[in-house]
Amino acid sequence: MFRRVSLIYPPSFESHWGAIRPPVGLGYLSETLLQQGVEHQVIDMGLGYSVKQVQKRIAAFHTDLIGVSMTSLFHQAVYDIVHALKRQFPTIPIVAGGPHLSTLRQQVLADCTAIDYGVTLEGEEALCELCQGKPIPEIEGLLHRMSANDVAYTGDRKFIMDLDRLPFPKYEQFELAKYVAREIGVMTSRGCPYACTFCPVKTTIGRTPRFRGAQPIVDELQYWHAQGYRDILILDDNFAMHADRVYAICDEIERRGLTGFRFRCGNGIRADHVDYPLLERMYAVGFRFLSFGVESANEQVLRNIKKGERLVRIEQAVKEACEIGYDVTLFFIIGLPGDTPAGAEASFRFARKYPVFDAKFYNLIPFPNTEIYEWLEGNHGFLHPPAEYLNCASHWDVEPQFETPEFPRAERVRILKRAHKVRKEIRKAAMRRKLKTLGPLSSLAASLFVYDWVQDFLLHNRYVRRTLESTFRYVATG
């Protein structure tokens, strides 16, 4: 039985912005522990805590269990943190969770011998049972170390189909005032049933979709509204999968008189699940920012990656969202199987066709256990070994991780560099439209939100960033 738990969230090694908002997954763990009466603290290293500071806080809390979240990108750096904690506290067990652990499972405990337990997929109930002293073999979804070289797994835990039984995060153990953006992430569903070959969702959270009801979702929104929060990031992979649920959420927001919200669907919604009436209804209650995962403007590439969408439907949704007045962001991936330099140019043309707010062109990082990863492994297509690129790569790099005969490395580098320029042109044009009331100063003001060196200089400070974001939102939505 564990009575005092320290939950550690590693820093973001891919970003120099620091912690933008509290991590929702850790928020659910914290709220569930709180509900079950388990004392705990949360230490988000993205807020600037060093390993030594974390060690001091662990000691001062009289911790008897340490929990650490892990992603596959930069996982070796997290392993180093875990080993440092184990050296300082050799008798305190360490439990790991998160996408990396859920994907690679026993391999993680084999590679990082400082980890004693691992919780796969949804961790709320398994972590509580571990803390409450339930016999280890009876805790489903738990990896546990039998010896230095022997790791056992109790088997997958059934998904929580009734998400409404989980308490929503209130972040009472978090230092909310220290996050860069005054924005709260809200998760209204889990899982994605689609089979996109590049996506790791099936191993990190599962392909079985689970949904929260409209009333509990709006209970959460009302809580944050009362706390003075108006900017809400919807974190779902498939928020609009069931239109009737979205209508019910909008109706409930309106019925309760919750005004002033600015909702952002930042992870991307599927174009084939929205139409003009639904987009209009969402806009009426405060949805302002939408992202669509286009991936490629080439139909054959979309078929290759099993996207399950037609380009004509995607274009229709983008056009309608822009007409209604949304700030639309488009997601593309450069260099997918079957893609070519000419295909990438088609994606650039698609991105410029409508007055979108942003277009992000990702350098594809093949994640373990995805279909693309296995295809590359079988065809020896990697330019860099996964153990290397998973610990140094970025979606914004111009160095590709693989090549194909129709899209060799040199061409990928050229196209990725060009993609950065195209994105800046699109963003600057969008900001000029937003800030046109400033007259001749609109171009200069737009640069503050576009050029990397300006952002590096100004926006690393959360107070400056919050002021600029508030000013922008006032001008953009006022």
Structure confidence at residue 467 as a pLDDT band (50, 70, 90): low
pLDDT at residue 187 is higher than 70? yes
pLDDT of residue 17: 63
Domain extents in the chain: 4-153, 182-434
Structure confidence at residue 144 as a pLDDT band (50, 70, 90): very high
pLDDT of residue 476: 45
- Are 4-153 and 182-434 in the same CATH fold? no
Domain 4-153 belongs to what architecture?
3-Layer(aba) Sandwich (3.40)
pLDDT at residue 442 is higher than 90? no
Name the strands in the sheet holding 65-69, side by side, starting at the edge strand that comes first in the sequence. Answer: 39-44, 4-9, 65-69, 94-97, 117-119, 142-147, 150-153
pLDDT at residue 460 is higher than 60? no
Reported as type and span, the H/E element at residue 90 is none
Mean pLDDT value of segment 60-81: 96
Structure confidence at residue 222 as a pLDDT band (50, 70, 90): very high
β-strand partners of 143: 118, 153
Q: Which residues of 187-222 are buried (b: 16+ CB within 10 A; e: fewer)?
A: bbbbbbebebbbbbbbbbbbeebbbbbbebbbebbe
- In whole numbers, what is the pLDDT of the chain averaged over residues? 91
Structure confidence at residue 43 as a pLDDT band (50, 70, 90): very high
Structure confidence at residue 468 as a pLDDT band (50, 70, 90): low
DSSP for 350-409, written as a single string: HHHHS--SEEEEEE--PPTTSHHHHHHHHHT-BSS-HHHHTTT--TT-SS-SB-BTTB-H
Overall fold of domain 182-434? TIM Barrel (3.20.20)
Residue 269 vs residues 25, 90, 151, 237, 367: alpha-carbon distances, Å:
20, 45, 39, 7, 21
pLDDT in tens, 286-336: 999 999 999 999 999 999 999 999 999 999 999 999 999 999 999 999 999
pLDDT in tens, 418-441: 999 999 999 989 988 887 765 665
Residue corresponding to tokens 């409508």: 354
Percent of the chain scoring above 90 in pLDDT = 81
Q: Looking at per-residue confidence, does 38 or 442 come out higher?
A: 38
Mean pLDDT value of segment 41-45: 97
Mean pLDDT value of segment 265-277: 93
| Angle, CA 200 vertex, CA 127 and CA 360 arms, to 5° | 120
Structure confidence at residue 381 as a pLDDT band (50, 70, 90): confident
